[in-house]
Chain A
Amino acid sequence: GQSLEQPSEVTAVEGAIVQINCTYQTSGFYGLSWYQQHDGGAPTFLSYNALDGLEETGRFSSFLSRSDSYGYLLLQELQMKDSASYFCAVTLQGGKLIFGQGTELSVKP
């Protein structure tokens, strides 16, 4: 079977740094993606790691260790607008995505 584990919820304050972890067990792996979803909206692509290491895009960074089947999303200088659900997703052969259950991030003033 396919499974991805991530925390169900995380709370942090404005300006802080937060890390959302994701571990996966899948048959096949081409990459790990992160998506942001606000209430009522569609997922927005944040980052993609196909190789081990850190990818940085502005305030967001994503890390992957394929040997550990582990990755994380790092959000820096948190803003209120970052309050949303964050999903990790594994890309399987053919491009289809298997999603984690999502982490609800609440940013407090």
Chain B
Amino acid sequence: GAVVSQHPSRVICKSGTSVKIECRSLDFQATTMFWYRQFPKKSLMLMATSNEGSKATYEQGVEKDKFLINHASLTLSTLTVTSAHPEDSSFYICSASQGQGNQPQHFGDGTRLSIL
């Protein structure tokens, strides 16, 4: 079945650091990937749609300069949290679908980001 890999699984770093999270589709090509954020005991909130070869589409209220997304190939999207602060601490999860965009999404294992 479709497999999405996310790395790293956990990051702990100091305030002001920039953190890069990678999302890879291992056995299929994904022209579109999605990035979500989840706070404890809360639902997943879509942050942005990552489009291969073009700019990401951000949801309302998500700072594009804060959360940089790059989708340089059909199997890799990266999310960089720039100048991270404690309020950016959260669980970040990527997803991708095999085939056309309206197919079910498969999620990576998530990255737990803790900013001290």
Identify the A interface with B (CB < 8 A): 30-31, 33, 35, 40-45, 48, 50, 87, 91, 93-102
Interface of B is mostly: strand
Known: A94-B32, A94-B49, A95-B34. A33 touches B105 (CB 8 A): yes
Interface range on chain B (Cβ under 8 Å from partner): 20 to 34
- B13 CB → nearest A CB, Å: 19
Interface of A is mostly: mixed
- Quick check: B32 and A43 within 8 Å, CB to CB? no
What residues on A are CB-neighbors of B110 within 8 Å?
Answer: 41-42
What residues on B are CB-neighbors of A31 within 8 Å?
Answer: 102, 104
- Quick check: B104 and A87 within 8 Å, CB to CB? no
CA of A96 to CA of B62, assembled, Å: 15
CA of A42 to CA of B92, assembled, Å: 9
- Quick check: B102 and A30 within 8 Å, CB to CB? yes
- Quick check: B44 and A91 within 8 Å, CB to CB? no
Q: Is B103 close to A, CB under 8 A?
A: yes
Question: Which listed residue, A42, A94, A98, A101, touches B101 by the CB 8 Å rule?
Answer: A94
The total of Cβ contacts below 8 Å across the A-B interface reads: 62
- Quick check: A41 and B102 within 8 Å, CB to CB? no
CA of A40 to CA of B91, assembled, Å: 9
- Quick check: B43 and A95 within 8 Å, CB to CB? no
Q: Is B78 close to A, CB under 8 A?
A: no
What residues on B are CB-neighbors of A101 within 8 Å?
Answer: 42-43
* Chain B 96-116 residues near chain A, CB threshold 8 A: 97, 100-110, 112
CA of A40 to CA of B38, assembled, Å: 11
What residues on B are CB-neighbors of A45 within 8 Å?
Answer: 104-107
- Quick check: B101 and A97 within 8 Å, CB to CB? no
- Quick check: A48 and B101 within 8 Å, CB to CB? no
What residues on B are CB-neighbors of A42 within 8 Å?
Answer: 6, 93, 107-110
CA of A36 to CA of B32, assembled, Å: 23
